[in-house]
Amino acid sequence: MAPLLILALLSAADPAWSLRTTAPSLLVLPPPRSITARGPPLKLTASETLLTGSGAAHPHVRLALSRFNARATSFPPSVRVTLGDASAASGALPCEASQYAYRLTVAPGGAVSVDAPGAFGAVYAFETLLQLIHGDSLVHNEVVIDDAPQFAWRGVMIDAGRRFFPLPVVYNLLDQMVAVKLNVLHLHASDECRWSVESKLFPNLTASLAGVLGGFYTQEDVKAVVAYAAARGIRVVPEFDIPSHSRGLRPIKSEGVVFCDDADTQSQVYGDPANSTLGVLKALFAEMAGLFSDEVFHIGADETSADGPCTVDSTFQLERTVLSYLEDSLGKTAAGWEEVLFDASAATNKTVVYAWSRHTPQQIIDLGRRAVDSVSSDFYMTEPAAPYPGGWKSFWYDITTGVAPASLPSLLGGEMSMWTDTYCYSAQCGAYHGSTPVGAPLFPPEMDVPWGKSVGGMMFPRGYVGASAFWNFNASLDSQSPEFVAAVWDLNNRMIAAGALTCPTNCHCDQLTACGSPYTPPAPPTPPTANMSVGTAPCALPLTPLQTFALGAGGVLTTTGAGGVSLCVANPAGGSGNPTYPLRLSPAASADCVSWARAVAGRFVDGASSGCLDLSADGIVGIYDCGSGSGLFQENQAWAADAALGGVVTLKDGSCLTAA
């Protein structure tokens, strides 16, 4: 399990503090529904907070207090937590009906109390309390906050079907989500690059992920993430994208998955007449539904097309059958992107539909479905933000805009999306032909650490602003005002002190850089590359760095004084019977560096071609056939590694191998 997020508090000397004191509604992000804060600062103690009241024994509340005590540098003496009638059910996993409301009170004498209908509201109250503390004081000695979300769905989507999100990044994100009261992690778990969750029924789905495509979640990983999220009031909603964006299913074509075409770019599955694809999908989705306990299961269904045998009718039939299977047989609420309703028209009456591109939430609601607002122009993080604060302006958006008052109960809420197209090692991992994406250097698994910093910098702090809009949009607040900007940077500084993955304050971030500095250091200068020859006999002393060699790991003959360059072939296609010359010094990692073996008579034999290190009549060093033969000058195939000199010396006349 990942460690808890450790959040240090800013001192009262924070330059943003003077601005924030003038805006009580911005003392906390997301802004509370109602806040009264007055009186002088309340000095706090150095002792950790104790928990009292009827909610003191609830595991979620105790864990929230533990995180609070780990993150604060000063503390109220105690917090009394009282949970209402909903507390009995709030020990279960969070769901659409979960209660997140709370009342936080700080009395003039310093007594702090939390009243909430359920444990998740109490969890949020501790996050709010933390933001009210600056240095060794509460901002005011009298505070009353009545708070509750406007929407039940306050989400962020991460695309692990392209660039894999390693577990430390997921845990870091969950800690940031609870800090700003986001409660749905939408895990886009399959796409063009991978199926990212282990299947016991179809193990080849993840067994095939290796090399640059390495990375997937074991079933134990999924259980751990679901539990970690639940303790923070966060639901984990899986998405396995079909029929399109299904390239990740290619490893199990032999199990019965049929694609619309046979091209190497194939990525859309076919609802074939024999129901071969459908049979695999039903078994696979039943297994996945057992891992992800949330009531909602997302099937994607975006960007499908008529392709070969895949017609609109076959797409409708496949999608409708899968949706009905999820809802009727597996007890799930199915969800899909807007195409599931407007293109294939496959959505059932129960299906939750996401507005993202061409359609609005109101259009979805008008057709009798519940909607989630994930409109790309407002809430996509795929491309870098413009310089802040302008870069978060679109995220401060009232998602009720254009929604009739009578339709509001059918608007579940909003969701931000972090697609990872721009990090693929090639265009959509081979599903399309196109230029290499800008973030490709951070795609390989060995780049997980810098990539985590990169994706965090792409998501936040604009994600904090979006979270605030989903919680309770306040039209009287201007996201570009000095007070709002100061509030965001204050929160961002707190999160940075926590080790959160976010763009540094007053900085611009893109896929490869933060504040103009690359996430990965530039490659070291390329070591010198030089053709090899022999010097005059005997070897001139002292030897230059390009004359000192050692037979290192794997038999590579490497210089000991020139930055790790090795003796390599200039023409890797050459081999036995085909002279390869001249030899050269190149970086030790070059593919054409030779693995040498010492043989009888002092020969250095190339392990790939079985040719010998040789010196031609005109002084060119290369690989020639070993043994006798016309024009081969066999005396020049005998060499010694001179221990005293550290060089390679010909036995013919004692001249040294050196760079030309």
Measure the CA–CA gap between 336 and 237, rounded to whole angstroms: 12
- For residue 17, what pLDDT band results from cuts at 50, 70 and 90? very low
User: Can you give the pLDDT at residue 175?
Assistant: 97
H or E, element range at 526 = none
Q: Where are the alpha helices (DSSP H) in 109-212?
A: 119-131, 167-179, 204-207
DSSP assigned state of 284 = H
Q: Which two tokens stand for residue 75?
A: 């503390």
The stretch 299-308 carries a mean pLDDT of: 93
pLDDT of 12 > 90? The answer is no
* CATH class, 34-147 region: alpha beta
Say if 34-147 and 530-659 have the same CATH topology.
Answer: no
Q: Look at residue 38 and give its three-state secondary structure.
A: strand
User: Can you give the pLDDT at residue 106?
Assistant: 96
User: Can you give the pLDDT at residue 593?
Assistant: 80
User: Can you give the pLDDT at residue 3?
Assistant: 35
- Is residue 69 exposed (0-12), middle (13-18) or buried (19+ Cβ within 10 Å)? middle
- For residue 523, what pLDDT band results from cuts at 50, 70 and 90? confident
pLDDT of 13 > 50? The answer is no
- Is residue 262 exposed (0-12), middle (13-18) or buried (19+ Cβ within 10 Å)? exposed
The stretch 385-401 carries a mean pLDDT of: 98
The stretch 295-304 carries a mean pLDDT of: 96
DSSP letter string, 154-176: EEEEEETTTS---HHHHHHHHHH
- For residue 631, what pLDDT band results from cuts at 50, 70 and 90? very low
The stretch 440-451 carries a mean pLDDT of: 96
- For residue 598, what pLDDT band results from cuts at 50, 70 and 90? confident
Mean pLDDT across the chain, nearest whole number? 89
Q: Which range is least confidently modeled, 7-21, 357-371, 379-393, 537-551?
A: 7-21
pLDDT of 27 > 60? The answer is yes
pLDDT of 539 > 50? The answer is yes
What percent helix, strand, coil does the chain show, rounded to 5?
30, 25, 45
- For residue 526, what pLDDT band results from cuts at 50, 70 and 90? low
Measure the CA–CA gap between 278 and 446, rounded to whole angstroms: 36
Q: Which two tokens stand for residue 95?
A: 């769901």
User: Can you give the pLDDT at residue 525?
Assistant: 66
The stretch 412-434 carries a mean pLDDT of: 94
pLDDT of 319 > 60? The answer is yes
CATH 2.80.10.50 fits 530-659, yes or no: yes
User: Can you give the pLDDT at residue 623?
Assistant: 82
Between 150 and 25, the more confident residue is 150
CATH 2.130.10.10 fits 153-518, yes or no: no
Q: Are 291 and 330 in contact (CB under 8 A)?
A: no
Q: Which range is least confidently modeled, 188-192, 384-388, 451-455, 572-576?
A: 572-576
Measure the CA–CA gap between 281 and 657, rounded to whole angstroms: 64
Measure the CA–CA gap between 466 and 414, rounded to whole angstroms: 9
Measure the CA–CA gap between 10 and 216, rounded to whole angstroms: 37
Share of the chain above pLDDT 70, in %: 90
**439 Cα distance to chain centroid:** 12
Q: Are 488 and 502 in contact (CB under 8 A)?
A: no
Q: Which range is least confidently modeled, 64-78, 291-305, 384-398, 584-598?
A: 584-598
pLDDT of 361 > 50? The answer is yes
Q: What does each C-alpha distance from 48 to 67, 176, 373 come to in angstroms?
A: 11, 23, 41
Q: What does each C-alpha distance from 305 to 161, 239, 261, 301, 498 come to in angstroms?
A: 20, 20, 12, 10, 45
Q: Which one-letter amino acid corresponds to residue 9? A: L
Q: Which residue has the tokens 């104790």?
A: 50
Q: What does each C-alpha distance from 246 to 17, 250, 356, 504 come to in angstroms?
A: 50, 8, 19, 36
- For residue 91, what pLDDT band results from cuts at 50, 70 and 90? low
Helix axes 59-71, 119-131, angle to 10 degrees: 10
Residue 353, strand partner residues: 336, 371
Measure the CA–CA gap between 354 and 342, rounded to whole angstroms: 11
**How, if at all, do strands 78-83 and 50-52 pair?**
parallel
Domain boundaries, the chain: 34-147, 153-518, 530-659
Residue 558, strand partner residues: 550, 566
User: Can you give the pLDDT at residue 562?
Assistant: 65
Contacts of 240 (CB under 8 A, 6+ apart): 189, 190, 195, 284, 285, 288, 298, 299, 300
Q: Are 65 and 79 in contact (CB under 8 A)?
A: yes
- For residue 576, what pLDDT band results from cuts at 50, 70 and 90? very low
The stretch 291-317 carries a mean pLDDT of: 95
**607 Cα distance to chain centroid:** 42
- For residue 490, what pLDDT band results from cuts at 50, 70 and 90? very high
User: Can you give the pLDDT at residue 647?
Assistant: 76
For 554-599, the three-class secondary structure string (H helix, E strand, C coil) is: HHEEEECCCCCEEEEECCCCCECCECECCEEEEECCCCCECEEEEE
- For residue 432, what pLDDT band results from cuts at 50, 70 and 90? confident
Preceding peptide of 522 cis, ω within 30°: no
The stretch 340-350 carries a mean pLDDT of: 96
Q: Which range is least confidently modeled, 214-228, 249-263, 454-468, 580-594?
A: 580-594
Strands (DSSP E) contained in 220-275 are 235-242
pTM of the full structure: 0.80
User: Can you give the pLDDT at residue 24?
Assistant: 80
Measure the CA–CA gap between 287 and 392, rounded to whole angstroms: 39
Q: Which residue has the tokens 């003796």?
A: 567
pLDDT of 146 > 50? The answer is yes
Measure the CA–CA gap between 134 and 73, rounded to whole angstroms: 9
The stretch 253-278 carries a mean pLDDT of: 95
User: Can you give the pLDDT at residue 628?
Assistant: 53
- For residue 4, what pLDDT band results from cuts at 50, 70 and 90? very low
